[in-house]
Chain A
Amino acid sequence: MAEFRFKTPLAESDVRQLHVGDSVLLDGVIFGVRDGNLIRVFDKNVAPPCDWKGAALLHTAPNVKKVNGKYVPVCVGTTTSMRMDRFTEGLLRDYGVRAILGKGGMSQRTAELMKQYGAVYLSVTGGAAAMETLQIEEIEKVYWEDLMPECIWQIRFKGLGPLTVGIDAHGGNLQMDVQAQANAKAAEIMKKMGLA
């Protein structure tokens, strides 16, 4: 398991180097997205007001406060990615996104798309938001404030992570593999317990 550090925006050659289990630190702008704003992009067909070519998108809805008219972080963490799974294709194909960051893993379908387009899923440690918050340099911009807290957040990080590569651009999907093994193990145990 290797360790990497990249600056956003990411190139295809950056993400193709990664394999599941590797550890990654990210510097630079990362966009916070989630249910509300992605529904607007894909279901209401409103183009995002920022450039996502080579972008890293983080599944989040931060706690913030306004100081002198500017948002500053109170606590910024990560939400469950699977809810946003159906948006992967559009994000990679139409907008050129290179990394999706979140927790809990994403589907086999997402893994196939990431292999095809050259992108990765980076697993953020869910619940460890205090650590993540300290890695923020600045909330640079906030788009679609009417969706608060589900706006699009343009956040500049220094050394976000270490993130764990959950899905690589070679078809690997760590969380799905662990899940498949767990299912098999559970079936075995249930048999032993006389439940099957």
Chain B
Amino acid sequence: MGGLMEVAQNFYEVVETTCRDLYIQSLKEIPPDVVDAIKRAAARETKEVAKRIFSHYLRSIELGQKDNMMVCQDTGIPIYWVEIGGNVRFDGAKLTTAIIKGTERATREHPLRSSIVAPISRENRQTSTGERIPIIHYDFVPDSDEIDILFMPKGSGSENMSFMRMLVPADGINGVKKFVLENVVGAGAKPCPPMVVGIGIGGSSDLCMTLAKKATTRPVGSKNPDPKIAAIEQELFEAINSTGIGPQGLGGDTTALGVHIESAWTHITCNPVAVNIQCWRAERRRAKISTSGQVTIGF
């Protein structure tokens, strides 16, 4: 275990430019696990219309990778999941400022469409930022010397398909499964299927929804480490894929690329469940930044 490490002088500038790059690149390069899942789904598809749609997905993925184009037009709500190593000594307020500035710079310098407006006046500052936006989640991990930033430009087609309910303990896990299936099937074509279904179980209402969203950031098809939960993931995955909604809801063999559950303990009287959906592009991009300002990019 290393000792405490003060960040380098240029650290916050590095964070700023890294966040700018994460935003721009996340819109262009689809994560490899997502690409593989789309390729597998395309290969096994039997319906003609669905095959056509998959070919459009694959063409757009390729244009993003090879021609540096944005794959989808939705620049989304910028969301950062920041994990800070316990050994890192830094100024948290400066870190937040750097992340916000990086977001604004991506929007101005690329340029990107600003998709962020005030909730009542609908004013758009054309910066992709505003009150409490970008959304930044901070977490801390022991024995680490780096800062891990996972960015997602969360598209609205799928974000609008978010569902939460405070079930009661008597509803049990069956109530949870039923809630998930009803809402995912009800979302139908709207979240640009095939989708990644994120499910939160437990916690308080707000934590439950955060867990559902966090679940969508896992590599597609990864399993929850708890075998009981992994079994529920698999059961729901098969159920959703047997509905035939297919790509763009035009009918097909694959409706979900993955079903991921994250859980937390809850109150004796509570049984919360939340669903948050990622569309087929399931964009995310990660940077690990060392205290000396070294950046490693991943997904």
Contact = CB atoms under 8 A, between A and B. Distances in A.
Interface in A134-152: 134, 148-149
A80 B158 CA distance: 10
B57 interface: yes
Interface of A: 1, 21, 23, 36, 60-65, 74-80, 82, 103-105, 123, 125-131, 133-134, 148-149, 162, 164, 166, 174-175, 177-179, 181-183, 185-186, 189-190, 193-195
A126 B249 CA distance: 10
Contacts of B63: 130-131, 134
Given A77-B74, A130-B70, A104 B243 contact: no
Across the A-B interface, give the 5 residue pairs with the lowest CB-CB distance, nearest first. Answer: A77-B73, A130-B63, A75-B70, A125-B56, A182-B243
Contact of B70 (A74, A104, A189, A194): A74
B283 to A, nearest CB: 10
A79 B110 contact: no
B42 interface: no
A60 B249 contact: no
A50 B19 CA distance: 41
Nearest to A134: B63
Main secondary structure of the interface of B (DSSP, over half): loop
B157 A104 contact: yes
Contacts of A178: 188-189, 244-246, 249-251
Interface residues of B, number: 57
Interface string B92-125: 0000000000000000001111100000001010
A30 B71 CA distance: 21
Contacts of A195: 174, 177-178, 181
B48 A128 contact: no
Contacts of A166: 250
B264 interface: no
Contact of B190 (A1, A63, A104, A190): A104
Contacts of B280: 127
Contacts of A185: 242-244
B111 A63 contact: yes
Given A80-B157, A131-B56, A174-B251, 14 more contacts: A1-B48, A21-B48, A74-B113, A125-B57, A129-B60, A130-B71, A131-B63, A134-B63, A164-B250, A178-B189, A185-B243, A193-B174, A194-B174, A195-B181
B160 interface: yes
A152 to B, nearest CB: 16
B188 A127 contact: no
Contacts of A65: 111
Contact of B177 (A23, A60, A103, A193): A193
Contacts of A186: 181-182, 185, 239, 243
A130 B69 contact: yes
B157 A79 contact: yes
Contact of B52 (A75, A164, A174): A164
A62 B64 contact: no
20 contacts: A1-B49, A63-B70, A75-B113, A77-B72, A79-B74, A79-B156, A103-B189, A105-B188, A128-B59, A129-B60, A131-B60, A164-B49, A174-B49, A175-B189, A178-B188, A178-B251, A179-B189, A182-B243, A182-B255, A186-B182
A71 B189 CA distance: 31
A125 B27 CA distance: 17
B248 interface: yes
Contacts of A21: 48-49
